[in-house]
Amino acid sequence: MEELRIMASLILENVTIDFPIYGSQKSFRHALFEKATGGLIRREGKNSQRVTVRALENICLNLSHGDRLGMIGHNGAGKSTLLRVCAGVYEPTYGKIHINGKVSPLFSTSPGLDGDDTGYENIQTCGMFLGMTPEEIARKTPEIEQFSELGDYLSLPVRTYSTGMLVRLGFGIATSIDPEILLLDEGLGAGDARFAERANKRVDALVERSSILVLASHSDTLIRSMCNKAVLLQGGRIIASGSVEDVTKEYQSLNKSVA
């Protein structure tokens, strides 16, 4: 397993993502086709009839074993889009992606929970959804039981669970994976305050098991605590990259200039 992790890599070469906007040709005024939050709105094609939003432009990344990349920026900067490109949700309009290793996107603590299935049945189905083998699921089930603290409720349909119980089960399942390339969104919730400390430790252990981490966050504090390199996104472009210290300082300067 360690040999595979050493070989893990994630490379993006001039990746650009355009989203077409349909049925909007007559509703846009010329003034809107300037820089906009979340990307550049453009007219293309014959007589400029096609409207697109350029969500990412010329993104270049080169990550290998041991890299912990923090992506920071304001809402609409392109962080979530870039995470989903790395996860294979979006195909680049231009550019190339080279991935060596298993990619594990962790954007939600409820990975497909079915209300009519029992907790144990959800551990099985959600585990498969997350890419685990039946053997892995069987091996991980006792730790999910212990972490969720649901006891006999695991034999009951999850529609009978409280919100907090659902969070504990979903979080336990989602963080039981053994990722090579871990894609993590800071929006991952951890439930109530009593549960948060154990949840944070579990996320730390998950990150430690990964070969490469890509974390999207608004928080320079979180980036500093979890990452060893960073990029600053604005309008779908990387405007700064390098050490966590340098990039977070640039982000703070950007915040001051906007304020």
Q: Which residues contact 194 (CB under 8 A, 6 or more apart)?
A: none
Confidence tier at 255 by pLDDT (50, 70, 90): confident
Residues 65 and 187 in one domain: no
- Residue 57 CB: number of other CB atoms within 10 A? 20
Residues 197 and 119 in one domain: yes
Residues 201 and 231 in one domain: no
Which of residues 229 and 130 earns the better pLDDT score? 229
Number of domain units in the chain: 2
Residues 190 and 249 in one domain: no
Res 75: pLDDT: 87
Residues 49 and 175 in one domain: no
Residues 97 and 177 in one domain: no
User: Residue 37: exposed, middle, or buried by beta-carbon count in 10 A (0-12, 13-18, 19+)?
Assistant: exposed
Task: Render pLDDT for 77-110 as a digit per residue (tens, 0 to 9).
Answer: 999 999 999 999 999 999 999 999 989 888 766 6
Residues 116 and 189 in one domain: yes
- pTM value? 0.80
Task: Render pLDDT for 40-63 as a digit per residue (tens, 0 to 9).
Answer: 555 555 555 667 889 999 999 999
Residues 91 and 124 in one domain: no
Task: Render pLDDT for 2-39 as a digit per residue (tens, 0 to 9).
Answer: 444 458 999 999 999 998 876 555 454 444 444 444 55
Which residues form the domain of 233?
2-101+215-258
Residues 112 and 54 in one domain: no
